[in-house]
A = this chain, B = another copy of it.
């Protein structure tokens, strides 16, 4: 399987914990199974939704293996392998490849604001160490560094860098990338609340935690646009936009956990310092979910 097959809605599972703060692998597998059955086109564990930076190396590897095993080739699996140091990133990327991942996703996490040269060298070292596709992930809000279109262009000259996930939340960036990189580069949208704008801009896919809560609305949006039916896409998007905005505002793992529980699904515990949504937030989420789950319209 190669990255030609990676497009559409890429679903992000949460990483559930037991009451005593261990990763709950059996529950994680059940949550992965839900996503596989939900109609999404791919799956990406160990992203922000999966609280990647909060996990030990051992935990990350257990999650990666469990996901690949559970999916069993039914859809592409993109494993998040971002780490602060280059050495740790290489090591996790190699593990993911060996475990059978279809691709890896890497955000250049930074404590210090990295220079372009540091980011390029970071990716060059990783690129030389594996032979599966790399999705370069740009998200200044969580990663702390904003990669310019020029830098992304340079990264795309590396052998395995084949996809870009953009989460600045600025639609202009999407236009510039698409114009400068051309139609052949696979661009993915990582900003939930921008989904309509990014997909109409020509993104190949949407990386999102929303399929945990509203799978059909996410795939409906994608397929309406694939069928060149903008009017339907608008209706589908405005039906879910407030929930998407809420997810972004309140944090993906917290909202997904609360939402699953509101739908009577088991979701495990969060790892501290993360705390569950408070009562007001849960009430608001319930209202938004109910709205989404109402029969929408007969197109």
**A270 and chain B: residue at smallest CB distance:** B118
Interface 1/0 per residue, A223-246 and B, CB below 8 Å: 001001111011001100110010
Q: Which residues of B contact A118 (CB under 8 A)?
A: 273-275
Interface 1/0 per residue, A119-149 and B, CB below 8 Å: 1011001000000000000000110100000
**A55 and chain B: residue at smallest CB distance:** B85
Q: Which residues of B contact A273 (CB under 8 A)?
A: 85-86, 108, 114, 118-119, 121-122
Instruction: Please tell me if the beta carbons of B179 and A194 are within 8 angstroms of each other in the complex.
Output: no
A296 contacts the other chain (Cβ, under 8 Å)?
A: no
A103 contacts the other chain (Cβ, under 8 Å)?
A: no
Of A7-15, A36-44, A46-54, A66-74, the one with at least 4 CB within 8 A of chain B: A46-54
Give the number of residues in A that approach B within 8 Å (Cβ atoms).
Answer: 62
A202 contacts the other chain (Cβ, under 8 Å)?
A: yes
A150 contacts the other chain (Cβ, under 8 Å)?
A: no
Instruction: Please tell me if the beta carbons of A193 and B175 are within 8 angstroms of each other in the complex.
Output: yes
A194 to B171, CA, bound (A): 8
A273, chain B: closest CB distance, angstroms: 4
A134 to B178, CA, bound (A): 37
A233 to B237, CA, bound (A): 19
A115 contacts the other chain (Cβ, under 8 Å)?
A: yes
Q: Which residues of B contact A272 (CB under 8 A)?
A: 85-87, 121-122, 125
Instruction: Please tell me if the beta carbons of A112 and B230 are within 8 angstroms of each other in the complex.
Output: no
Instruction: Please tell me if the beta carbons of A85 and B271 are within 8 angstroms of each other in the complex.
Output: yes
A245 to B170, CA, bound (A): 14
A108, chain B: closest CB distance, angstroms: 7
A117 to B279, CA, bound (A): 13
